[in-house]
Homo-oligomer: A and B are copies of this chain.
Amino acid sequence: MTSDDGPRAPRRAGRPRADARPVVGDPTDEILAATGRLIGELGIGGTAMSRIAAEVGLKQSSLYYYFRRKEEIVAALVARANVVPLELVRTIVAQGGSAPAQLYRFVRADVIALCALPFDINEVHRIAARDTEGFASYWKERAVLERRLAGILRSGVRAGDLRTVDPRLTALTILANDEGVQNWFRLGSRWSSRAVGVQLADLVVSGLLPPGSDLASVAAEADRLDPEFR
């Protein structure tokens, strides 16, 4: 054997793993990916640290080199998940359009994004609710999301494009709806996430339109800005 026998994994510092498999990528990312998959199947409570460790080729205690506590893994996981709706509402508001159309686009895309998550978002909420400190940034981002959504609603109500409703209560209700729905539809079931997103967007927006307004024209406006739905 000469100097080169293929792209051998670069030798890493530190004690080698008992399971002598080569290390593929950043262990942190591997742990997050494995945990996402596992809690999707087994739930957070049902996913043991030893199971996660086995999945990535480590012993249980070695996980604590990368994360101090199990919840820290969950927090890192959900931090990523939180970025999507925030980014979504940001770009939708930036792109403008009528309030109903913005709302329509948000609900539709939010549902689809949530359904794509490997785990149940509500379960994570529950963990996060019991550990406000560890999930402080999560709740901060969530508050921003709520405010932005309420902002859309408020301007829609003011412009007469939406029925008169409490913007904050309605924003929270809409987010709760999106999340309540993902639990039931995220696993293929009978309906595609796309169909569910469209359905809920129809329901919510149509439910907020003032008498005499037409849902179809709102949907058409939304579709003009979301090419993938044309």
Contacts and interface: CB of A to CB of B under 8 A. Distances in A.
A65 interface: no
B176 A199 contact: no
B165 A199 contact: yes
A169 B183 contact: no
B123 A173 contact: no
A54 to B, nearest CB: 20
Contacts of A52: none
B211 A196 contact: no
A181 interface: yes
A202 interface: yes
Nearest to A46: B130
Given A126-B43, A180-B179, A180-B180, A203 B196 contact: no
Contact of A208 (B170, B200, B203): B203
Contacts of A203: 170, 173, 203-204, 207-208
Given A126-B123, A204-B203, A206-B163, A181 B180 contact: yes
A28 interface: no
Interface string A153-197: 000000000010110111011011111110111000011000110
A214 interface: yes
A132 interface: no
Contacts of A176: 177, 180-181, 183-185
